[in-house]
Chains A and B, each alone.
Chain A
């Protein structure tokens, strides 16, 4: 288990114990965090699991691959540190990560 904090666009925080080797998207959905739709179920095909990281965490995790980048590009609140949360695996290294949710999903 790894401690993850999801922050809604209105500032509400959700601390969850995320299971390792699952995706951040799954951690949010399984813990009832609102604001992640995950319409495609985690296949990098819908971009409704968009999240924004702070710069430090973003660079620690490495840049999105080409497929993810292509799906991210049209999301309405795209920022330089945007990711699709279904493409991020929860590991011990993520302990304490803060994940910001956009106001709207695609």
Chain B
């Protein structure tokens, strides 16, 4: 197994001496193996540590990646809050764990340091019942108002439901008050969604209007909360893959590849080169599909229906390729831990080359129709502006962050799948408005094609699945004819892949930004906890603030430009 060990891991910056001075218990990065420095901090000191981590110029973690809870009913300290932080400049990655007692699961909120903590903390409250003191609006986020209990606690029955009736549907408190002041006679409350053509599935925003200008807004999410994180705790590690495919269903391949990579990190193995490059090609095609949906939907919302038809045709063309590889169009379930479920068809390269020739035509068509179209520019330029610093404070990543001038891309910052051997540009815009986000996505589609063009010439031969009997099932002919293989097959399929106890965070560049999986294993065939860090979760929490002061019709333009996918947002 030695030859399949990680070779591509970038050297992690050394542990900052300033943090050692804080005197917390430091678990070295060697222990985690996922390129993170890990610390265990007592809750009484957590704010101090977080502040140092953010403000000390030598550390300067400007991105709050994720906050999540973990439940350990057998431990003295039942709960654990886990922070993931990143410094974009140095590439430093930190994980801070804070144990909490069952009787008193409270801790200070990090909202004052990073605005992005807002929803992550609300989620931890909702799902684990961890109370964050000083949080501005600590209430349920994903589950509904009538929900009872905290479902991700281990003692919560996965199937126990609480029903919601119509009168209990959430209305924010400020929306319930009747404006009595005469000056406010024109103020009224408007409800957008969750069943609204421009809310792309199931998003809901309540806005307060003064004339046509939005004065205040609040989002409600969770309408597609399908309990991903609870469901996967009862599945084997490989069985999680169909679930990951349904997170961001517009680009399912990226999710499952990201998940497989994260588990492989935990197992300390690497898929064979052929599988890696095929994963890369299909991920880039998925990125194109995702951007096509995002831009297409954005255009429809702004009245440019034709553009979306061209973009949906792009998807149809790519579906053909995915279907020939995996048998499914949308939710492909093609990646496996350790490689791919099976090899691609013989004519794969020629199919890809056909796509490489046809897709630019569609992009050009839309480019000609839209990019310099006056109506489109009037509707998007200067609308929904966010500065780079602000976006980062909210935890934005991906194309939306790059449209605000910060060139952070996981594919460049910590390359995986061999992105380090491929030459491509990271498009960046500076204005941070809807138009910039459109331009960035358009260019990213072209860059993806450019990446595929290089990769397609260098697909090596060989297997697409790792040669490790503890991970890959033996070939069928062997399983039928050889005793040992049969036993292995039986054991692997019954008990699942055994992942050594430990934790790890794996992250890749999803279509919307950094897609991370925080995995905790207790050494069994099933995950103990999987936390997804969905990119659009962080992005969408800033939406109400983008709306304030904008016209109500701009709300639609802004929403479309952010590309919020409910499956990933609500999980």
**Do these two chains interact?**
no
